[in-house]
Amino acid sequence: MINIKKEEISTFRTKSPKKIAIIYPPYGSIDNEPGLKVVKDNYGIFPSLSLLYVAGCAKGAGHDVLFLDVNATLISKDEVLNQLKHYQPDYIFYTITTYQLKENLDWLIELKKSYPCSVVVGGVHMGIYPEETMRHKEIDVGFIGECDVMDYEAFSKVPGIIYRKEEKTYKTKSSPVLMNVDNAHLPATQLYALYLKEFQHDYWREFVKNPKSQIAIQRPGCTMPDEEIQAYCKQAYLEFYYRPNYVFKALLRVKSFSELMRSVKVAFQMRSSG
């Protein structure tokens, strides 16, 4: 097992550098959408800092990285495939989300048919359903937790992963918890060409260096003003919390007159602000 201390993560270097393609698949509204479709469709584009953090760890460890944000650029699967064939990665990384698992799998399965290389997945979902996710044979490796240690000489030596070998899956010991984020790599925001091209500066890196800066967060592709987004959110909250069934259950939980008055006051404030 790779023995690496938490404070050494930022200085770790692999002895076997690879070419890694990181793909952020389309992220839109779906059936049984847990969020607001109108907001999801019009909220704009934010850099995927979680995947850019993975890219930062990979670059910091000595790997070469290609970052493809399909959600932002809306490029087709054919264009993604063309870039993969040109870049020739050794591994392709995807982020997996629970409620978009089907859509995520559709992407990686179709791309793997045309470009068969090792597929690595990660995200909060993998920390909850690692074994279940690895039942999909197209997935070769899953990160459980953070992707701090980027080494691929032998998966059995990398902490915090689940991997496939000869039709069986194996889990390694948990990866060390990074207690001080100053010892981690910065997200590789320099790879986010779309954002940099439109706004001419790396907001995220500037903010990390100076959290007190007053640079406004901009959203490429946003078609709604903040006021309209907030109005839709308030409307959704009202529709949710004023459902008869929800109100009835809330009243059953009230244990005193003062608590009832507080609940009525909060409900009145919500209605007034909406």
Looking at residue 177, the DSSP 8-state letter turns out to be P
Question: Backbone phi, then psi, for 173, in 5-degree steps?
Answer: -65, 160
Q: For domain 6-209, is the CATH number 3.30.43.10?
A: no
Q: In what order do the strands lie in the sheet with 141-143?
A: 64-69, 19-24, 91-95, 118-122, 141-143, 161-165, 168-171
Q: Which residue has 């500037």 as its token pair?
A: 206
pLDDT of residue 7: 46
The CA-to-CA distance between both ends of the chain, in Å, stands at 56
The answer to whether 80 touches 73, Cβ cutoff 8 Å, is no
The residue ranges of DSSP E strands in 105-262, in sequence order, are 118-122, 141-143, 161-165, 168-171
The answer to whether 154 touches 170, Cβ cutoff 8 Å, is no
Q: Which residue has 């008055």 as its token pair?
A: 261
Amino acid at residue number 28? G
What the block records as the tokens of 85 is 């064939």
Amino acid at residue number 246? Y
What is the pLDDT tens value at each position of the chain, 274 positions in all? 344 444 456 667 777 888 999 998 887 656 555 555 655 565 556 677 788 888 888 888 889 999 998 877 778 889 999 999 999 999 999 988 887 888 889 989 999 999 999 999 998 899 889 999 999 999 999 988 776 656 655 667 777 889 998 889 999 888 767 667 677 777 787 777 655 665 566 666 676 677 676 666 566 566 677 777 777 777 777 777 777 887 888 788 888 888 888 877 877 776 665 5
pLDDT of residue 3: 43
Question: With a threshold of 0.85, does the pTM exceed it?
Answer: no
Burial class (CB in 10 A: 0-12, 13-18, 19+), 62: middle
The answer to whether 120 touches 92, Cβ cutoff 8 Å, is yes
pLDDT of residue 184: 73
**pLDDT tens, position by position, 115-134:** 999 999 998 899 889 999 99
Alpha-carbon gap, residue 176 to 159, rounded angstroms: 8
pLDDT of residue 46: 67
Alpha-carbon gap, residue 190 to 5, rounded angstroms: 27
The domain limits of the chain are: 6-209, 226-273
pLDDT of residue 59: 87
**pLDDT tens, position by position, 84-113:** 999 999 999 998 888 788 888 998 999 999
Number of Cβ within 10 Å of residue 229's Cβ equals: 18
Q: 95: which strand partners? A: 122
